[in-house]
């Protein structure tokens, strides 16, 4: 079944992504590996089901929280205020003698509201000579498929076990039920690693339908338009590097994240809508404290697990991206688009680029 799916994947790959507490942040922070996950899973979904276009039903949880728990809401605001560079998704990068460059935080979804970039970002994108995204492999289906097939151990259980062997009977039943609700049989994806399955069960039906119909998420949309305009497109990471970042975390971490994502159930749609609302207002620094408030999990209580996640999935990758962006920024007139959660914080891209001698300022 998996071998057959991989063969089909070589011929027809649909690049998808999602916009997490840890389970959701993992989804938000690492889109490329999740593109692969959802692409593989979609191969097992019937065309009729994949073609449905259900309405998005998620609701922003913050207004209700503000009414029912004003103290909790104020705590979120206070935590966000402590986050360096936590306000704004679009930043100007200056250095004497160079044409300005720009940094856009993205959300890896096909939501039309997200695809409508700020006016200043659209102009900067149109004027830029080089466009940089997390991985330019999203534009080359054969290259992306090859990267996946060359290292199957990063995405599949290769020791003869299946996901059922790593779960209690109760949790396996939860997974089976959750997948069935999405039109997928557990047997069809039993060898997939848990983080692959987490990405699928977290995806709202409306987002899945848009992606199955061929809609591009913001990063890919930006890159596709750049190619059409004859611009240079570069990537800051490879797919293999992103897959490895996921694989480096303990299997127990991923299993817990999968079950907690399943337990959120329909609330997952509300969580993603809340994240989208924060993105649209540029309140990126509110993302994690908000998620901790509206979707608390056991993983969030494990400080060592969270530290490992933050280092491997966020901090390490920020360092790599900043290093690889440096020579491109030194040429000026560069437009960089990466997941918005990579921007804020003492070790976020905004601060790391400043440490390279650039002036980085938010664009209203």
* Structure tokens belonging to residue 345: 């914080």
The pLDDT value recorded for residue 151 is 79
* The model's pTM: 0.85
The pLDDT value recorded for residue 52 is 52
The pLDDT value recorded for residue 305 is 67
Q: Tens digit of pLDDT per residue, the chain (364 long)?
A: 434 443 433 333 232 233 334 545 555 554 544 455 554 544 444 444 444 567 888 999 999 999 999 999 999 999 999 999 999 999 999 999 999 999 999 988 889 999 999 999 999 999 999 999 998 887 876 666 666 677 788 888 999 999 999 999 999 998 898 888 777 788 888 998 888 788 777 778 788 778 777 788 899 899 999 999 999 999 999 877 887 888 888 888 888 888 888 888 778 889 889 999 999 999 999 988 888 887 665 555 556 666 777 788 888 999 999 999 999 999 999 999 999 989 999 999 999 999 999 999 999 8
Among residues 159, 155, 118, 97, which one has the least CA distance to residue 337?
A: 118
Report domain extents, the chain: 2-51+59-362
């Amino acid at each position: 079944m998996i071998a057959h799916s991989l063969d089909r994947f070589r011929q027809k790959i649909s690049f998808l992504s999602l916009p997490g507490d840890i389970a959701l942040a993992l989804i938000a922070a690492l889109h490329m590996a999740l593109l692969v996950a959802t692409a593989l899973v979609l191969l097992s979904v019937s065309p009729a089901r994949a073609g449905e276009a259900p309405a998005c039903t998620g609701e922003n949880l913050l207004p209700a929280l503000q009414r029912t728990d004003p103290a909790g809401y104020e705590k979120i605001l206070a935590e966000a205020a402590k986050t360096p560079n936590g306000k704004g998704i679009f930043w100007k990068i200056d250095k004497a003698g160079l044409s300005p460059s720009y940094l856009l935080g993205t959300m890896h979804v096909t939501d039309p509201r997200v695809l409508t970039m700020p006016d200043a970002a659209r102009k900067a994108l149109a004027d830029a000579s080089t466009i940089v995204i997390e991985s330019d492999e999203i534009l080359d289906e054969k290259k992306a498929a090859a990267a996946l097939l060359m290292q199957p151990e990063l995405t599949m259980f290769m020791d003869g076990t299946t996901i059922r062997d790593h779960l209690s009977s109760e949790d396996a039943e939860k997974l089976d039920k959750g997948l069935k609700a999405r039109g997928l049989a557990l047997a069809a994806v039993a060898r997939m690693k848990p983080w692959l399955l987490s990405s699928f069960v977290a995806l709202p039906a409306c987002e899945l339908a848009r992606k199955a119909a061929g809609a591009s998420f913001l990063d890919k949309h930006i890159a596709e338009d750049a190619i059409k305009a004859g611009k240079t497109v570069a990537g800051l990471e490879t797919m293999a590097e992103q897959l490895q970042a996921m694989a480096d975390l303990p299997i127990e971490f991923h299993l817990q994240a999968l079950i907690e994502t399943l337990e959120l159930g329909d609330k997952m749609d509300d969580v993603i809508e809340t994240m989208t609302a924060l993105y649209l207002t540029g309140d990126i620094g509110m993302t994690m404290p908000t998620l901790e408030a509206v979707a608390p999990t056991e993983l969030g209580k494990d400080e060592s697990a969270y530290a490992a996640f933050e280092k491997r999935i966020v901090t390490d990758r920020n360092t790599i991206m900043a290093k690889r962006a440096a020579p491109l920024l030194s040429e000026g007139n560069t437009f960089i688009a990466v997941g918005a959660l990579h921007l804020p914080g003492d070790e976020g891209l905004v601060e790391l680029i400043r440490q390279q001698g650039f002036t980085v300022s938010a664009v209203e």
